Amino acid sequence: MCKWFVPRKGPAFWGLINPEWSLCNKGRRQSPVNLEPSRLLYDPNLRLLHIDNAAVISYPPYLPSLLHHSLCAPQIHGSIANTGHSVVFTVDNTTTRHVNITGGPLSYRYQFHEIHIHFGLMNDAGSEHTVNGYAFPAE
């Protein structure tokens, strides 16, 4: 069993793991969540998500997407770490090219700093969030 595994899951138990996290069980917008598609509502007023200084590009089928992306899209320098249960990319503090995210449900402009891709050793574990109680290998 992994050293970071905690049999009790979710925000209600995080305060037991670390007293500094005790407020986690008192909030209303906590993560992880179980998404229930039958309870989701479509919002026609939801704006498109906009990412500044990033390119979504198409590429010829004979070129690998990573190669084409590295040649044509703006590059952001950072570091990658494998924690054993997630891959973390962190933007270098000295970067001069910032990626900003706005739109969608966001009220403000956010500067991209770090991304975590959670994964598991099994196909039914890894994701923090679930859909109808079903976990995924990664998210």
Is residue 138 in a domain? no
Residue 9 has pLDDT above 70, yes or no: no
Is residue 66 in a domain? yes
Sign for the pseudo-dihedral over CA of 54, 126, 12, 28: positive
Nearest-angstrom CA–CA distance, 103 and 45: 11
| Domain identity same for 64 and 114 | yes
- pTM of the predicted model as reported, rounded to 2 decimal places: 0.61
Residue 121 has pLDDT above 60, yes or no: yes
Is residue 102 in a domain? yes
Please report, for residues 6, 19, 87, the alpha-carbon distance to residue 112 in angstroms, rounded to integers and kept in the order given: 29, 29, 16
| Domain identity same for 111 and 72 | yes
Please report, for residues 68, 83, 126, 130, the alpha-carbon distance to residue 21 in angstroms, rounded to integers and kept in the order given: 43, 21, 22, 22
Owning domain of residue 18 = 1-29
Q: What is the mean pLDDT of residues 105-134?
A: 87
Q: Buried (b) or exposed (e) across 62-75, using 16+ Cβ within 10 A?
A: eeeeeeeeeeeeee
Under a CB-based contact definition with an 8 Å cutoff, are residues 66 and 57 in contact?
no
Under a CB-based contact definition with an 8 Å cutoff, are residues 85 and 118 in contact?
yes
| Domain identity same for 42 and 94 | yes
pLDDT tens digit sequence for 56-109? 444 455 545 444 444 555 677 889 999 888 899 998 888 887 888 999 888 999
pLDDT of residue 37: 94
Is residue 137 in a domain? no
| Domain identity same for 9 and 53 | no
| Domain identity same for 111 and 62 | yes
